[in-house]
Amino acid sequence: MPGVSLTCIKTDKFKTGCLTVNFICSLSKETAAASALLPRVLRRGSAELPNMERISAALDELYGARIEPLVRKKGETHCIGLYADFPDDRFLSEQNDAQNLLEETAALLGGMLLSPNMQDGFFRLDYVESEKANLIDDIRATINDKRSYSIERLLEEMCSGEAYSVNKNGDENEARAITPESLTAHYRKMLNHARVEVFYCGFADHERVLKAVTSALSGLKPRKDATIPKTNILLHPSEKEPRHLSEKLDISQGKLTVGFRLGSAMENPDYPALIVFNSLYGGSITSKLFLNVRERLSLCYYASSMLDKHKGVMIVSSGVEFSKFKMALDEIMFQLEQVKKGEISEWELTSAKRYVITSIKSALDRPGGLEELYFDSIISANPYDPVDICDKISKVSLSDIIKTASDITPDTIYFLSGTDISNKESDIDT
């Protein structure tokens, strides 16, 4: 099937299998809300099973199988689809109806994706309006989690003009404007042109999986040259000095969030070194940010870093007292300079690698975690083997960390403070 790939991982580690179908598109402000809404509406009913009641009954007959919407943002790609998990045949009785759970689940998932319940050629108005309201609620709910809100606001400002600034759920105005007609048009365009990645994890043989998936997705049209969209990577900030931005809300704890560009580390990405660097700097409980900024100096309630290796962006997120903003920021920058200078103990490096390896092995012990790791590799500019990467992580050296960190540069500094506190930084209108 041109433009459609299947990744099949056979394992006897789990009592359940999982199957995902992902449509991969370019992330954009104009289509993000519609793309995020699609799997929610598709999950509401198919031509054969037109409502949630019928779908629930069908899933119950499949020994409690589940099918859920998937919406992911990987760099500047928007990945949407459906996730299914179901009991492995090996653990059920020898009845005939217990020997084809993979095939029946795949068929059910394919029906939702390719033969949705429609009226007069368009998605049902009641389904669209109901799921649209839920999507808008989710978009609005971001502000209730001030940590997540601060990260989203930082990315909006730091990556203004880049697709990466767009939230995976889109924005409220775009969501509100969606109609059954516009959503159907977007669905048909995606169906005909988007790259499709299918992932299976379970005990079934490859040939059986291939047959089940091919049958379930037989309605897909060939899509020549349907490649995974590329992410535009900016190696360095557009300005020499980092931008300082602030905003005020009715909160009692400040949120200091700093965005960095990874620089030359993204020219030929060394993913193991990037992952270990992040763990060492702020991505673990043995990191420099945690042990120094939070524990030793008590400048933050929390301080951590996260990495998007697809985009070449690192975010440091921290909760601070309003009066400690400057001290916390200085220490966050100081700890990065320490890494660049190689001021790293053998214990710190070993702990960082151990933390990453443990996290990956933990993910590999769950069907969903294994799917996420392999899917992440597929989307990457430099695909990697999630199993072999642990061995490469264990071999990351101090010089690898120094090289990776050498060109990392702060781009934007965002501070969310309380409404009764005056700040010297320029305010952003809320």
Please give the average per-residue pLDDT across 23-35, as a whole number: 97
Confidence at residue 421, expressed as pLDDT on a 0 to 100 scale: 45
**Domains in the chain, ordered, with CATH?**
4-216 (3.30.830.10), 243-418 (3.30.830.10)
Question: Which of 97-111, 190-204, 388-402, 411-425 is least confident?
Answer: 411-425
Contact 138, 169 (CB under 8 A): yes
Using pLDDT thresholds of 50, 70 and 90, give the confidence band for residue 426: very low
Confidence at residue 420, expressed as pLDDT on a 0 to 100 scale: 64
Q: Treating both helix axes as pointing N-terminal to C-terminal, what angle do 206-216 and 101-114 enclose, rounded to 10 degrees?
A: 30
Using pLDDT thresholds of 50, 70 and 90, give the confidence band for residue 294: very high
Confidence at residue 129, expressed as pLDDT on a 0 to 100 scale: 98
Contact 72, 228 (CB under 8 A): no
Using pLDDT thresholds of 50, 70 and 90, give the confidence band for residue 74: very high
Q: What is the pLDDT of residues 362-407, one digit of tens each?
A: 999 999 999 999 999 999 888 888 889 999 999 999 999 999 999 9
Q: Treating both helix axes as pointing N-terminal to C-terminal, what angle do 52-61 and 101-114 enclose, rounded to 10 degrees?
A: 160
pTM over the 0.75 mark: yes
CA gap 313, 205 in Å, rounded = 39
Using pLDDT thresholds of 50, 70 and 90, give the confidence band for residue 41: very high
Name the pairing type of β-strands 16-26 and 77-87: antiparallel
Averaged pLDDT of the chain: 93
Share of the chain above pLDDT 90, in %: 89
Q: What is the pLDDT of residues 160-178, one digit of tens each?
A: 999 999 999 999 999 999 9
In the numeric block, which tokens belong to residue 90?
A: 């090996």
In the numeric block, which tokens belong to residue 363?
A: 């993910």
In the numeric block, which tokens belong to residue 351?
A: 């702990």
Residue with tokens 């890494």: 339
Confidence at residue 422, expressed as pLDDT on a 0 to 100 scale: 46
Confidence at residue 118, expressed as pLDDT on a 0 to 100 scale: 95
Q: What is the pLDDT of residues 136-161, one digit of tens each?
A: 999 999 999 999 999 999 999 999 99
Confidence at residue 93, expressed as pLDDT on a 0 to 100 scale: 65
Q: What is the pLDDT of residues 130-140, one digit of tens each?
A: 999 999 999 99
Confidence at residue 387, expressed as pLDDT on a 0 to 100 scale: 83
Residue with tokens 């030359």: 264
Contact 116, 49 (CB under 8 A): no
Q: Output phi, psi for 25, to 5 deg.
A: -125, 170
Please give the average per-residue pLDDT across 29-36, as a whole number: 97
How big, in percent rounded to 5, are the helix, strand and coil portions of the chain? Answer: 45, 20, 35
Contact 312, 235 (CB under 8 A): yes
Q: What is the pLDDT of residues 206-238, one digit of tens each?
A: 999 999 999 999 999 877 778 999 999 999 999
pLDDT at 425 over 60: no
DSSP assignment letter at 160: T
Q: What is the pLDDT of residues 309-352, one digit of tens each?
A: 999 999 999 999 999 999 999 999 999 999 999 999 999 999 99
Cross-sheet strand order for the sheet of 426-427: 302-308, 313-320, 254-261, 409-418, 243-249, 426-427
pLDDT at 53 over 80: yes
Confidence at residue 430, expressed as pLDDT on a 0 to 100 scale: 34
Smallest CA-to-CA distance from 398 within 332, 321, 341 is with 341
Confidence at residue 97, expressed as pLDDT on a 0 to 100 scale: 55
Confidence at residue 94, expressed as pLDDT on a 0 to 100 scale: 62
Q: Where are the beta strands (DSSP E) in 4-135?
A: 4-10, 16-26, 66-74, 77-87, 118-119, 122-123
pLDDT at 295 over 80: yes
